[in-house]
């Protein structure tokens, strides 16, 4: 767990507090002691409800904390970031420039990204990002940290999966359908009929799957008579059969 988050969190936990994500995020982002921020919140009148902005164990309304006058007490202001592609917290730290500081809103929660890491218990989780703000000084200059790029978590690389070439399927279709154009395309084998669209075929979990274009009416009508429809895609309808022999009978009748 990030050190900046842990130390501030432990301070409030020791006081028997909870639901303190807002003062915690502001403290990490601004560098101001979390107890000072918490005390200011408890002494400031809420614009939404009766009483203070925050009571012990309670959260804080956005309109109370996310405004210039309140944040200026801690020497910061927030500027919304436009064009964030990351949809979840787990991907944020790989997109945001590591040297800046950020406050991030997710559903019913607020967190800080600093020193290239999500300074929160949601680090690495799939909480959906609602809004991202750059933390700036009162002159509008982003607050920055000197971050060793090598210490920033690298963007995870998905392990490459070997493409499952259906060599047996390809060889069978090439041999049995010598008059047609049979080609390998990734894990699919395409069978192109003269002057017509191609039918794509693959094998999966012991079944043969056949894809036919929506506009290929002649083959679609025949497929509905002899094959079992599996699903409808954007441009194709998928059928399934139990073995390659049934597929060959279907193709020969096309």
Looking at residue 190, which CATH number applies to its domain? Answer: 3.30.1460.10
Residues 126, 29 within the same domain: yes
Question: According to the model, what pLDDT value does residue 160 have?
Answer: 45
| Mean pLDDT to the nearest integer, 20-49 | 93
Task: State yes or no: pLDDT of 248 exceeds 50.
Answer: yes
The pair of structure tokens assigned to 6 is 């842990």
Q: What is the pLDDT of residues 119-142, one digit of tens each?
A: 999 998 889 999 999 999 999 999
Point out the domain boundary residue: 106, 123, 151: 151
| Mean pLDDT to the nearest integer, 150-173 | 61
Number of domains in the chain: 2
- Residue that has been written with the tokens 């506009």 in this structure: 215
Question: According to the model, what pLDDT value does residue 205 have?
Answer: 74
**pLDDT confidence of 7, banded at 50, 70, 90?**
confident
**pLDDT confidence of 204, banded at 50, 70, 90?**
confident
Please, what is the end-to-end C-alpha distance for the chain in angstroms? 61
Residues 6+ apart with CB under 8 A from 36: none
Residues 116, 215 within the same domain: no
The pair of structure tokens assigned to 247 is 């597929």
**What range does the domain containing 178 cover?**
167-253
Residue 153, sorted as left (phi over 0), alpha (psi -120 to 50) or beta, turns out to be beta
- Alpha carbon 44 to chain centroid distance? 37
Q: 177 in a domain, yes or no?
A: yes
Residues 85, 32 within the same domain: yes
The pair of structure tokens assigned to 207 is 């079944």
Residues 78, 181 within the same domain: no
Question: According to the model, what pLDDT value does residue 183 have?
Answer: 87
Task: State yes or no: pLDDT of 195 exceeds 90.
Answer: no
Q: 159 in a domain, yes or no?
A: no
Residues 91, 126 within the same domain: yes
Question: According to the model, what pLDDT value does residue 39 have?
Answer: 94
Q: 158 in a domain, yes or no?
A: no
The helix (H) or strand (E) run that includes residue 170 is helix 167-176
Determine the Cα–Cα distance for residues 188 and 193; give it in Å rounded to an integer.
16
Task: State yes or no: pLDDT of 64 exceeds 80.
Answer: yes
């Amino acid at each position: 767990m990030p050190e900046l988050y842990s130390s501030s969190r432990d301070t409030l936990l020791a006081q028997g507090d909870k639901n303190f994500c807002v003062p915690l995020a502001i403290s990490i982002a601004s560098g101001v002691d979390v107890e000072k921020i918490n005390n200011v919140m408890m002494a400031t009148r809420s614009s939404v409800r009766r009483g203070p902005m925050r009571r012990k164990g309670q959260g804080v309304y956005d309109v109370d904390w996310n405004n210039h006058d309140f944040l200026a007490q801690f020497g910061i202001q927030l500027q919304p970031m436009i064009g964030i592609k990351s949809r979840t917290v787990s991907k944020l730290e790989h997109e945001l420039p590591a040297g800046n500081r950020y406050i991030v809103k997710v559903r019913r929660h607020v967190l800080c990204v600093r020193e290239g890491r999500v300074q929160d218990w949601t680090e690495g989780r799939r909480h959906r990002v609602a809004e991202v703000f750059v933390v700036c000084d009162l002159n509008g200059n982003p607050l920055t940290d000197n971050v060793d790029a090598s210490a920033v978590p690298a963007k995870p690389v998905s392990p490459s999966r070997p493409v499952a070439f259906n060599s047996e399927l390809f060889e069978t279709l090439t041999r049995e359908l010598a008059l047609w154009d049979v080609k390998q395309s990734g894990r699919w084998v395409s069978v192109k009929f003269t002057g017509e669209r191609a039918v794509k075929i693959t094998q999966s979990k012991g079944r043969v799957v056949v894809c036919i274009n929506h506009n290929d009416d002649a083959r679609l009508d025949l497929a509905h008579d002899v094959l079992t429809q599996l699903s409808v895609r954007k441009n194709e309808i998928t059928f399934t059969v139990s073995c390659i022999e049934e597929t060959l009978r279907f193709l020969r009748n096309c």
